[in-house]
Copies of this chain bind each other. A is one copy, B any other.
Amino acid sequence: MNKVIVLYRRPIGKPVLGDFRLNIEEVPVPDDGEILLKTRYVSVDPYLRGRMNDAASYVPPFQLNKPIQSGIIAEVADSNHSGYKIGDIVSGNLVWKEYQISSGKGLQLIETPDIYLTANLGVLGMTGLTAYLGLTEIGVPKPGETLLVSGAAGAVGSIVGQIGKIMGCRVVGIAGSGQKVELLKSKFNFDEGINYKTNVDLDKAIKTACPDGVDIYFDNVGGKISDAVLKNINKHARIPICGAISLYNETEEESGPYVQPLLVRKSALMQGFLVSDYSEKFSEAKKQLFNWLKEGKLTYHETIINGFDQIPHAFIELFEGLNEGKMIVKV
C-alpha cells in the first residue's frame, strides 16, 4: 500500500486542507535501470504555493489530481540500477508518495547521511544555496555594512543573517513574533530583531535598529514590510528579491509605492533570482556551507512534523507564520 498526496483543487488565496487529497495506490516495482525510493523526509516550502496556480511562472504549474513535488530525502528500498544499492540515502526533487520509482536522474547521493541529514533539505540544500548565492552574488556584503533581512526567522532568512555576520555585517532581522525575534538574536547571531506585528511604525523601528541605514536588504516577503524598508536604504543599496510570501496568496494584483524614483535617487539595485540561476556555483557553495557548519559558525533550525499524512497541514502552516526555520515532515 502506497500513500500519495495529490493537488485536488487549486487554492484560492490561502491554501486549505480541502485543496489536497490522499490517495492509495500499489507500491511500484523498479524496472531495469531504476530504483525504488522510500520517502524519509519531505520539505514543504512557500514557493510551492505559486505552482498550485494555473499560471505561467518560472516552473510549470502542478497538475490537478497529480502528486505535488518538493525537496525530499529518500532511502533506496530496491535497486535495479548499477549506481545505487539498497540503503543508499539520496535527495532530490521528488513527488509526495511514500514509495516512488526513479531513474536516478536529478538525485544527489548523500555521502554522509549520519551527520546533518535533514540539513540536505535546508542549509546544505536549496535553502542554504538560495541564502548563500542570493546574498553573495547580488547582495555582495562588505564588512561594516548593514544587512536587513525580512522573513528573518524563516528557512532562508535565518541562514542569510548568519552568513551576513560571518562576512562582517551588522545584521538586523524582521520577523512576526516576539519569540522569533528572540530566536534571531539568541540562536542565529543577529544584532537586532524587529517584530513587525507590534511595531506599528515599522519605518521608525527600522531607523532605530539601522542607525546607519540599510546597505543590503535581503527581501523574503515583499509587500508593506518592504515598503517600509525601502525608505531606509542607503546610496548604492543592493536588494536581492528572494520571494514575496506576503503576496503569494493574493488573488488580485497588489499595489504599493512605485520603487523606480527611489532606485534612481539611491542608485540602488533590485534583483529577483532563483537559486537555479546560479547552478554552476552549487558545488563550491555547498562546500563553503558544510565547512561553516562543521566549524560551528552556522546553525540551523527546523520544525519537524511527523507523519506522511501531515504534509498538507505542514504546508498550510507556513502561511500562518507559525514555523521557525525550515519546515520538514518526517515520514
Residues of A within 8 A of B (CB): 57-58, 219, 222-223, 226, 235-236, 241-244, 247, 253-274, 277
Tally of this chain's copies: 2
Chain B residues whose CB sits within 8 angstroms of the CB of A271 once the complex forms: 263, 267-271
B58, A260: Cβ atoms closer than 8 Å: no
The CA of A239 and the CA of B163, in the complex, are separated in Å by: 28
The CA of A262 and the CA of B241, in the complex, are separated in Å by: 10
Report 10 cross-chain contacts, Cβ distance below 8 Å, ordered by A residue.
A58-B264, A222-B261, A226-B260, A244-B264, A256-B258, A259-B270, A260-B270, A265-B272, A266-B272, A269-B270
Known: A260-B219, A260-B247. Contact between A274 and B270, CB under 8 A?
Answer: no
Chain B residues whose CB sits within 8 angstroms of the CB of A242 once the complex forms: 264
4 nearest CB pairs, A to B: A263-B272, A264-B272, A222-B260, A269-B271
| Smallest CB gap from A247: residue in B | B261
Chain B residues whose CB sits within 8 angstroms of the CB of A270 once the complex forms: 259-260, 263, 269-271
A253 to chain B, nearest CB (A): 5
Known: A264-B243, A264-B244, A264-B273. Contact between A255 and B253, CB under 8 A?
Answer: no
Chain B residues whose CB sits within 8 angstroms of the CB of A272 once the complex forms: 260, 262-269
The CA of A241 and the CA of B260, in the complex, are separated in Å by: 7
| Smallest CB gap from A272: residue in B | B263
A6 to chain B, nearest CB (A): 25
The CA of A175 and the CA of B274, in the complex, are separated in Å by: 34
Q: Which of B255, B261, B262, B269 contacts A255 (CB 8 A)?
A: B255
Q: Which of B264, B266, B269 contacts A269 (CB 8 A)?
A: B269
Most B-side CB within 10 Å, residue of A235, A244, A264? A264
The CA of A258 and the CA of B256, in the complex, are separated in Å by: 6
The CA of A220 and the CA of B57, in the complex, are separated in Å by: 27
Chain B residues whose CB sits within 8 angstroms of the CB of A253 once the complex forms: 257-258
The CA of A53 and the CA of B226, in the complex, are separated in Å by: 25
B261, A267: Cβ atoms closer than 8 Å: no
Q: Which of B241, B260, B266 contacts A264 (CB 8 A)?
A: B241
A243 to chain B, nearest CB (A): 6
A274, B264: Cβ atoms closer than 8 Å: yes
A217 to chain B, nearest CB (A): 11
A223, B258: Cβ atoms closer than 8 Å: yes
The CA of A235 and the CA of B274, in the complex, are separated in Å by: 11
A256 to chain B, nearest CB (A): 5
Chain B residues whose CB sits within 8 angstroms of the CB of A257 once the complex forms: 253-255
A254, B263: Cβ atoms closer than 8 Å: no
| Smallest CB gap from A269: residue in B | B271
Chain B residues whose CB sits within 8 angstroms of the CB of A274 once the complex forms: 264, 267
A261 to chain B, nearest CB (A): 5
Chain B residues whose CB sits within 8 angstroms of the CB of A219 once the complex forms: 260
Chain B residues whose CB sits within 8 angstroms of the CB of A235 once the complex forms: 58
Chain B residues whose CB sits within 8 angstroms of the CB of A265 once the complex forms: 57-58, 272
